[in-house]
Structure 1
Amino acid sequence: MKKCLPFASFLFTIIVWETAVRAFGISVHSMPAPSQVALGLWEMIRSGVIFHHITASLFRVTWGYFLAVCTAVPIGLVLGIWRQAGQLAEPLIQFLRPISPLAWIPFALLWLGIGDKPAVFLIFLSVFFPMLVFSMSGVSGIKKTYIRIAANFGLKGRDYYVKVILPAALPEIVTGLRISLGTAWVVIVAAEMIAVKSGLGYLIIDARNSLRMDHVIGAMIIIGATGLVLDRCIRKLEDLPAVKWSRVLK
C-alpha cells in the first residue's frame, strides 16, 4: 500500500491539472494539459530530438563532474591531513563556495567562448567545492587510533593515502558525490540556456521561443526523470562493502 502512495499522488495531480485546464479553457500556449504534454513529448521521442539533447547534456555533465572529482578529492584529502594548509585554505574555500556557479557565466563566455567548454567549466565549479569540503570533512573525522596504527605499521606516502585515509573518508566522499551530481544537473540546464545550441536547457529556451509549452514541460519531465535515474545510480555506491565497513569503523 505504501508503495502505491507516490503513484497515487502523481495520478491525482495529473487528473486535477487536466480538469483545471479544460474547465477554464486555458490556452495550450499558456499551460498545456497533461494529454497535450504527452503528445508533445511523444513527438520529440519519435523524431529523436530529445535523445540528441539528453546526450549533449550528459556529455557536459560527465566531463565537468569527472574533472572536478579527480581534482577536488585529492586536494581535499591533502588539506584534511595537513592541518596547517587546511586552516590556511579554509577562509578562501568558504568565501568562494557560496558563489553560484552561474555567477561565473560572464567569465566562462569571455575566457572559453561559445560551445561545450563554458558549460563544462560551470559544472566543474558546481562540483569542485562541495567535493573539496566533503573530502576534507571525511579526513577530519578519522579516529586518531587508526592514524597511530598506520604509523606503527610504517605506512607512508601513497600506501598511507590509499590504505588508510581514502577508505576512512569514503562515506563522506560518496555523500559528496551524490549531492554534487544533483547540483551539476541543475547547473547544466541553466548553463545550456545561455552558452550552447544543444542540451535540455537549450531545448527549453528554443521551445519557449516557439511557444511550444508542451515541449517545455516535456523537457522538464525528462530533466526530472534523468536526474532521478542518475541519483539512483550514484546511491548504489552507498551499498558497496567498503563504504559500509568504513561507516562501521567511524
Structure 2
Amino acid sequence: MSMMRKSGLLVISALLFLTIWQLIISVGNYPEALLPSPKNVFYAFEKYSSDGLLISHIGISMYRFVLGYSAAAILAILLGLALGRLTLLWGILDPIVQLLRPVSPIAWSPFIVLWFGIGNMPAIVIIFIAAFFPVLLSTITAVKRVDPLYLKVAANLELSNVQLIGKIIFPAAFPAIAGGLHLALGSAWVFLVAGEMVGAQSGLGYLIVDARNSLSLDVVMMAILTIGIIGFILDRIIHFAEKWVVHKYFSA
C-alpha cells in the first residue's frame, strides 16, 4: 500500500472518530461536565502546547518508557536465548515465571514505592515488569521452535555456543521475538500511565489524575488522546524497525 493511500486512510479514520464523538455528544445530549466536545479538547491541546506543559509531560513519560522498555527487552531477550537452550534450568524456573507473570505490575506498586520512593523509578520499574515477561516467554518459545536441521548444521560446523546463538538461533527466532516486542510495547505503555498515577508527580498519567481532581475533563480527554496517539506512533516505529532489521540482516 502506498504512503499516500495510507495517509489518506489515516485522515479518514481520524475524521470518522471525531464525527462519532460529536454525534455521541449531540444524540446523548451530554453536557461538557460529563463529556467534553472535540472543540474544547482541541482548545486544551492548544493551551497546553503553547505553554510547553504538554511537551514537558510527554518528554518525561517517554524518558521513563524508553528506559524501562529497553532494559526489559534487552534482558528478556538475552535470558530467553539462554534459557531456551538450557531446558533443565528453564524447567525449574518456569513455574516461578508462570506464578509471577499473571500478577499486574500495579499490584507491586506498594513495594515499589517503598523500595524506590517517588519520582521516575517507580514508573520505570512498573514498565520493566510489564514488558519483561512477554518478551522473555516469546523468546524462549521461539528458541525451542528453531528447526533442528539448523542445529545439526551448526554442530557440523563446530560453532561455539555464542556463534550458535548469534548466527543460527537468533536470526531464526527473530520474527517471534519481534512479536513479543510488539506485545510488550502495548502492555508497557498502558502500565506507564498507571505507574505515573501511583508514584509520580509528572508525566501523562499524573496529568490525568491532576486534571481529574480539578474536574477539568477536557484536559483528561486531551491526555487520553495524547497517550493513544503516542502509543500508535510507537507501534509503527517498532513495526518499521522490525522490517528494517529483517531486510538489513536476515534477508537472503
Same fold (TM over 0.5): yes
Distance 1:49 1:132, change over 3 A: same
How far apart are 1:10 and its partner, in Å?
4.2
Aligned to 1:50: 54
Which residue, out of 195, 199, 209, partners 1:205? Answer: 209
For residues 241 and 201 of structure 1, the distance between their equivalents in structure 2, rounded to whole angstroms, comes to 32
How far apart are 1:170 and its partner, in Å?
0.9
Structure 1 counterpart of 2:190, which letter? V
How far apart are 1:93 and its partner, in Å?
1.2
* Aligned partner of residue 58 in structure 2, secondary structure: helix
Residue 236 (structure 2) pairs with residue 232 (structure 1)? yes
Aligned to 1:195: 199
How far apart are 1:175 and its partner, in Å?
1.0
Please give the residue correspondences for 1:139-178 in structure 2 after superposition, counting only pairs within 5 Å: 139-178=143-182
Aligned to 1:180: 184
TM-score, normalised relative to structure 2: 0.90
Which residue, out of 95, 114, 118, partners 1:110? Answer: 114
Aligned to 2:132: 128
For residues 125 and 215 of structure 1, the distance between their equivalents in structure 2, rounded to whole angstroms, comes to 29
Structure 2: unaligned runs, 5 residues or longer: none
* Aligned partner of residue 215 in structure 2, secondary structure: coil
For residues 223 and 96 of structure 1, the distance between their equivalents in structure 2, rounded to whole angstroms, comes to 27
Structure 1 counterpart of 2:67, which letter? W
State how many pairs are aligned: 248
How far apart are 1:26 and its partner, in Å?
3.6
Distance 1:13 1:66, change over 3 A: closer
* Aligned partner of residue 81 in structure 1, secondary structure: coil
For residues 144 and 163 of structure 1, the distance between their equivalents in structure 2, rounded to whole angstroms, comes to 14
How far apart are 1:83 and its partner, in Å?
1.2
How far apart are 1:231 and its partner, in Å?
0.3
How far apart are 1:11 and its partner, in Å?
2.8
Distance 1:242 1:12, change over 3 A: closer
Structure 2 counterpart of 1:55, which letter? G
For residues 7 and 204 of structure 2, the distance between their equivalents in structure 1, rounded to whole angstroms, comes to 30
Structure 1 segments (4+ residues) deviating >4 Å: 1-10, 22-25, 243-248
Between 202-211 and 27-36, the greater mean CA deviation after superposition: 27-36
How far apart are 1:109 and its partner, in Å?
0.6
Residue 142 (structure 2) pairs with residue 138 (structure 1)? yes
How far apart are 1:15 and its partner, in Å?
3.2
What is the CA deviation profile of residues 99-136 of structure 1, one whole-angstrom value per residue up to 9, with x for unaligned ones? 11111111101111111111111111111111110110
1:79 and 1:136 in contact (8 A); partners too? yes
Distance 1:69 1:20, change over 3 A: closer
Distance 1:221 1:154, change over 3 A: same
Q: RMSD between aligned alpha carbons? A: 2.3
What is the CA deviation profile of residues 44-102 of structure 1, one whole-angstrom value per residue up to 9, with x for unaligned ones? 11111110000111100111111111211111111111111122211111111111111
Distance 1:37 1:71, change over 3 A: same
How far apart are 1:203 and its partner, in Å?
0.5
